[in-house]
Amino acid sequence: MSNRVVCREASHAGSWYTATGSQLNAQLEGWLSQAQTTKRPARAIIAPHAGYTYCGACAAFAYKQIDPSITRRVFILGPSHHVPLSRCALSPAEVYRTPLYDLRIDQKVYADLWKTGMFERMTLQTDEEEHSIEMQLPYTAKAMESHKDDFAIVPILVGALNESKEQDYGKLLSKYLADPSNLFVISSDFCHWGQRFRYTYYDETQGEIYRSIEHLDKMGMSIIEQLDPISFSNYLKKYRNTICGRHPIGVLLNAVEELKKNGIDMNCSFLNYAQSSQCRNWQDSSPDFIAIVEACMESHRQYFESQFSRLEEMGRGCDAKLSSIQMEFVNLSRNTKALKVDLSGLCDRVDKNTKSAYLCSTRIDQSEAKMADLEHRNRCPNLRMVALEENHEGSDAVAFLMKSLPQWFQSLADKKN
C-alpha cells in the first residue's frame, strides 16, 4: 500500500502569477501594503481570481482583513469553469502547492463533508486545470504566513447549483461559518462584458459602457451587502450578470441566512472595485473585480459572550466544588483534631500501662529471685539460724555448734567446767 502524499501542483504559476517564491512574496507584500485594514477580523471574503497582473491589487483589500492569529481553517469556494458540475466537488489531493509554501487540506473536515453524500470527488487533472481555487492560494499563504503551521484549507469546487441546492449547501456549511476560527474565501470575478463573453448589457443612461458595467456590478454588490440570497438570485435572473462565482456567493449568502435563524447577525462591506480595462465600444471586453469582506462582528461578539458565559458557568461550578472541598477539609480537620485527642489519650494510657507493666515485671523478677534463693536454701545441708550468715558454720556444722553453743549459752559453759 502506497503512503505517497497526493499533491496538487501550482499549475498556473508562471502564467497567471509568478512561479518564483521571492518575487511572488514581494508582489503580494507590495499590494497588501497599499490596502487598509478596516474590517478585521474578516469571517468571509470575496476575492477575484483573474491573473494577478489584473486583480492582485484589488484582492489585497480583502486579504488585508484576515487575522491569522484566530484563523485555523480556510474554506475556499471556487466556481467550476471547465467541468460541468451539478453539485460540489472535493479534491483528491492532500496538499496544495504554492511558490511560497505548501498548504495542507483538512482531511477530517473533508471526511465529514464526504459522509453527507452531497459531494463528488473531482480528478486531480480537473483540480489542476481549474484556476478559481488556485488563485486564492498564494494570497492565503501570504496572509497566514505568521501561523503557517497552525491552519489547514478546505477547497470546494462549486458547480452550477440551483437555488434549492445553494440553500442545502449553505445550511450544511453554516455550522463552519459560525465558528470564528474558520475563514471563508469566495472566489469570484464580477461582470465579464464583451462579445467574447456573450454578454453586452448596456444602460445608456449611465454614459460610457464601462460606467454602465460599474453601475450593474454595484447593484449586485449592494444586494450582497444586504446578505439577502433571494434578492441576489432575483438580480441575476433580471440582469443575467456574468458573475462567475455567483453560485459560491449564493452558498455563502444562504449560510448567513441560516445563521440569522439562530440569532447570529453578520454584516458585509464592499471594499474595492476594479475593471481590467474600460470598455468604450462594442469590440472591447473586460472582466471586473471586487473585494468584499463579511466582517461578522456580531458573530464574534455573540461567540465570545457565549464563551464568557460558559466560563462563568464553569467558574460557578468550580466555586461550588471548591466550597465543597473546603467544607470537607474543615470536617477532615475536625476529625483529625479529634483523632489527635484520642491518640493522645491512648498514648497516655499506653505509657501508664507500660510503666505498670515494667513495675510488674520488676516485681516478678524480684519474686522469682527470692523463690530461687529459697529453693537453693532448701537444697543446702546447712543451718538455718536467724542472724547467722549463710555458710558461716563452714563444712562441719556439728563441730561449729559444739564450739559455738557454750559461747552463746553461758550455762552450758559452766556445766562443762
Domain that holds residue 343: 310-349
Q: Is 175 found in the same domain as 143?
A: yes
15 within domain boundaries = yes
Amino acid found at 415: K
Reported as a single tens digit per residue, the pLDDT across 325-367 is 888 877 887 888 888 878 888 888 878 888 887 888 888 888 8
- Look-up of cell digits 559461747: 407
> What is the per-residue pLDDT for 383?
52
Contacting residues for 177 by C-beta, under 8 A, at least 6 apart: 43, 44, 184, 252, 255, 256, 259
- Residue ending a domain, among 269, 296, 323, is 296
The answer, yes or no, to whether residue 71 has pLDDT greater than 70, is yes
Reported as a single tens digit per residue, the pLDDT across 173-224 is 999 999 999 999 999 999 888 888 898 999 999 999 999 999 999 999 999 9
Q: Is 315 found in the same domain as 232?
A: no
Find how far residue 82's CA is from the centre of its chain.
38
Q: What is the CATH number of the domain that holds 12?
A: 3.40.830.10
Amino acid found at 355: K
End-to-end alpha carbon distance in the chain: 140
Q: Is 166 found in the same domain as 245?
A: yes
DSSP 34-81: HS---SPSPSEEEE--S-HHHHHHHHHHHHTT--TTT--EEEEEEE-S
For residues 116-125, average pLDDT: 97
**Cα-based angle 112, 163, 214 (whole degrees, multiple of 5):** 110
Reported as a single tens digit per residue, the pLDDT across 275-319 is 888 889 888 887 766 666 655 444 445 444 555 566 667 777 777
324 within domain boundaries = yes
Reported as a single tens digit per residue, the pLDDT across 4-45 is 999 999 999 999 999 999 999 999 999 999 998 877 788 999
Q: Do 105 and 154 form a contact (C-beta atoms < 8 A)?
A: yes
Q: Is 121 found in the same domain as 198?
A: yes
Domain count, the chain: 2
Q: Do 136 and 47 form a contact (C-beta atoms < 8 A)?
A: yes
413 within domain boundaries = no
383 within domain boundaries = no
Q: Is 258 found in the same domain as 338?
A: no
Q: Is 147 found in the same domain as 15?
A: yes
